[in-house]
């Protein structure tokens, strides 16, 4: 008999809002610009329908985290957020201490909606500040200035107990000195959590074309490594150590939602292009919905869900996902859970080589984790260990 999933494992709901005011030239997230506007009420009905359909697949779960991501969820009306939260509460149980995060762009217009989001039930915001340098913001194609972003952070601070913001580093022309100053300034504005992402050049973005044409002078491997090391040192000193490769928090202030992904628990993906991982009849199922907003909406209206993928994962795939996600965390993975999921243990010979190279270590309680010097080559470490 399966254990009662509603009591034994954390469960999260991810809601994707796929619209943005403009497309940033580095971004390959599922985001779309609709100059003519969208029918928000009709989309809302689509979200409600998809929540009901998904809840029928995994009934009786207790939701410990909800995350509105994008795209730009801060373009949603607070009433839309409220209705989605009410709908989640109608179909599952929301834990009394659930974390409810909304990703917001830091413009003054969006900050005016923060109070409405709080009344709707949002208790944490994550702001895409990206940089505190106006020239860099311009180059990143952002619609806000550094001051506007700082003002939005101040509004967030006055309304929410918990907030975080994102910065992108290893940007074109960035020096270690300039990044140290910017990061120090950012830490002064941060409370408990910061996401610090190295710029990645994603295929099919304008930055990819510029980079290929030699018009984007991004840091080479050595400078990128120096910027990463500097980030770790400055944040650790300020009491914000990395708990995941790009995420820093004071102890206990980690983003619970992302921990659910990285620790290999279940989450429902709602909205265009959302991914989910659900345990159905004892099997882990990967779900994915249509990325195109209007096509997703039509699918939902016709069939109740926007699903394009619903695939039962093999034990090996489930275990490798646990490895891939879990090794991003400073706490690492439990090798016994890996064995239980895959039916075979991690290769001790491969672990031993990686350990001798200083890339991984085993903690006193038997967990396997990537070291500070292993993190910059995390992909290679995972590839080495995976089945």
CB of 48 to ligand SF4, least distance (A): 23
CB of 124 to ligand SF4, least distance (A): 18
- Per CB under 6 A, does 140 bind ligand SAM? no
Taking the chain, what is the end-to-end CA distance rounded to the nearest angstrom? 29
Stretch that binds ligand SAM, among 10-18, 69-77, 228-236, 347-355 (CB under 6 A): 69-77
| Closest among 189, 17, 194 to 117, alpha carbons compared | 17
CB 56 within 8 A of CB 87: no
291-308 exposure pattern, b = at least 16 Cβ within 10 A, e = fewer: bbbeebbebbeeeebbbe
Question: Cβ contacts of residue 314 below 8 Å, gap of 6+?
Answer: none
- Per CB under 6 A, does 114 bind ligand SAM? no
Over the window 167 to 186, marking each residue x when it contacts ligand SAM by CB under 6 A and - when it does not, the resulting string is -x------------------
- Per CB under 6 A, does 126 bind ligand SF4? no
Residue of 10, 46, 70, 332 interacting with ligand SF4 (CB under 6 A): 70
- Per CB under 6 A, does 147 bind ligand SAM? no
Task: Give the DSSP H/E element, type plus range, for residue 198.
Answer: strand 193-198
Which residues within the stretch 12-41 sit at the binding site for ligand SF4 (CB under 6 A)?
Answer: 20, 23-24, 27, 29, 31
Stretch that binds ligand SF4, among 4-12, 65-73, 279-287, 341-349 (CB under 6 A): 65-73
Stretch that binds ligand SF4, among 66-74, 260-268, 324-332, 362-370 (CB under 6 A): 66-74
CB of 177 to ligand SAM, least distance (A): 21
| Closest among 262, 34, 250 to 162, alpha carbons compared | 250
- Per CB under 6 A, does 70 bind ligand SAM? yes
Tell how strand 266-270 and strand 11-17 pair up: parallel
CB 98 within 8 A of CB 105: no
Residue of 86, 202, 336, 347 interacting with ligand SAM (CB under 6 A): 202
Phi and psi at residue 208, in whole multiples of 5°? -65, -45
Rounded Cα gap, residues 18 and 244, in angstroms: 25
Stretch that binds ligand SAM, among 195-203, 264-272, 293-301, 356-364 (CB under 6 A): 195-203
Rounded Cα gap, residues 368 and 331, in angstroms: 8
CA 188, 194, 196 angle in degrees (round to 5)?
110
CB 306 within 8 A of CB 289: yes
Stretch that binds ligand SAM, among 26-34, 131-139, 149-157, 256-264 (CB under 6 A): 26-34
- Per CB under 6 A, does 208 bind ligand SAM? no
Q: What residue ranges bind ligand SAM (CB under 6 A)? A: 26-27, 29, 69-70, 72, 103, 105, 128, 130, 166, 168, 197, 199-200, 202
Q: What residue ranges bind ligand SF4 (CB under 6 A)? A: 20, 23-24, 27, 29, 31, 70-72, 105, 128
């Amino acid at each position: 008999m399966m254990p009662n999933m509603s009591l034994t494992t954390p469960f999260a709901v991810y809601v994707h809002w796929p619209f943005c005011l403009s497309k940033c030239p580095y971004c390959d997230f599922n985001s779309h610009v609709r100059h003519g506007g969208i029918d928000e009420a009709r989309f809302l009905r689509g979200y409600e329908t998809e929540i009901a359909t998904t809840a029928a697949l995994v009934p009786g779960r207790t939701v410990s985290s909800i995350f509105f991501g994008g795209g730009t969820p801060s373009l949603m009306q607070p009433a839309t957020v409220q209705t989605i939260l009410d709908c989640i509460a109608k179909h599952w149980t929301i834990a009394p201490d659930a974390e409810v995060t909304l990703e917001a762009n830091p413009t003054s217009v969006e900050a005016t909606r923060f109070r409405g989001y709080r009344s709707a039930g949002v208790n944490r915001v994550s702001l895409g500040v990206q940089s505190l340098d106006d020239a860099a913001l311009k180059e990143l194609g952002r619609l806000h200035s550094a001051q506007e972003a700082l003002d939005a952070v101040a509004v967030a601070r006055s309304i929410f107990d918990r907030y975080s913001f994102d910065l992108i580093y290893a940007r074109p022309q960035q020096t270690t000195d300039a990044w140290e100053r910017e990061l120090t300034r950012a830490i002064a504005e941060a409370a408990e959590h910061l996401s610090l992402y190295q710029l990645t050049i994603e295929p099919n973005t304008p930055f990819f074309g510029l980079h290929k044409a030699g018009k984007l002078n991004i840091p080479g491997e050595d400078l990128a490594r120096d910027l990463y090391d500097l980030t770790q040192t400055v944040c650790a000193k300020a009491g914000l150590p990395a708990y995941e490769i790009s995420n820093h928090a004071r102890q206990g202030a980690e983003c619970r939602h992302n921990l659910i992904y990285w620790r290999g628990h279940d989450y429902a993906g709602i909205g265009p292009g959302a991914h989910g991982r659900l345990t159905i009849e004892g099997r882990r199922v990967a779900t994915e919905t249509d990325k195109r907003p209007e096509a997703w909406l039509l699918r939902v209206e016709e069939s109740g869900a926007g699903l394009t993928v619903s695939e039962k994962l093999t034990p090996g795939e489930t275990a490798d996902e646990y490895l891939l996600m879990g090794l991003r965390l400073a706490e690492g993975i439990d090798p016994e859970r890996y064995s239980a999921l895959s039916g075979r243990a991690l290769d001790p010979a491969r672990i031993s080589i990686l350990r001798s190279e200083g890339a991984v270590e085993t903690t006193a309680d038997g967990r396997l984790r990537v070291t500070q010097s292993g993190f910059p080559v995390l992909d290679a470490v995972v590839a080495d260990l995976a089945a």
